[in-house]
Amino acid sequence: MSIVLTRLDDRLIHGQVVVGWVQHLGVKRIVLVDDEVRSNAWEQELYTLGVPGDITVEFASVDEAVQAVRDWNADPTRTLLLAGRVDAIVRLCEGTDVIRKINVGGLHEGSGRTQRLAFVYLTGEEAEQLRRLHDQGVEVSAQDVPTANRAPLKDWA
């Protein structure tokens, strides 16, 4: 199993992901799953700027990721899947049985969102979507950095 982490973080690729998670887990490939970024070469270039040269960055729409996730998981390259939207991670998980754990790393303030943890804000609908994933057997927990304790979904959604 080479998908070592599936992370939900609305900042997508940023320092905490690269310095914290990528180094901690020995990740060699980041797959950013986002329909809008997938179709925007300029944004893709920006997201790759802060990633060391020995780490591959790929961009996929949710539908492309659903089709490719088995191959990524079978490949020996240690891979981090990264999405920035709750609805995207839900579509990805519901489209495949490969992903059984989700790490929520940062969902920030926004319209209709309320604070659940210091680094997690959700709308009622987003909380319900994550609970639905949990009910389908996907372990959902929040953890901003590798050294922090994981908070199970039941404690914050």
* pLDDT bracket for residue 1 (50, 70, 90): low
What is the token pair recorded at 19? 């310095």
Q: Average pLDDT for residues 62-68, to the nearest whole number?
A: 98
Q: How large is the average pLDDT for residues 123-146?
A: 97
Name all domains of the chain by residue range, CATH numbers in brackets. Answer: 3-155 (3.40.35.10)
The single-letter code of the amino acid at 6 is T
pLDDT reading at 141 higher than 80: yes
Neighbours of 134 (CB within 10 A): 17
pTM of the model: 0.95
Q: What is the pLDDT of residue 156?
A: 95
What's the mean pLDDT when you consider all of the chain?
Answer: 96
Average pLDDT value for residue range 10-21:
95
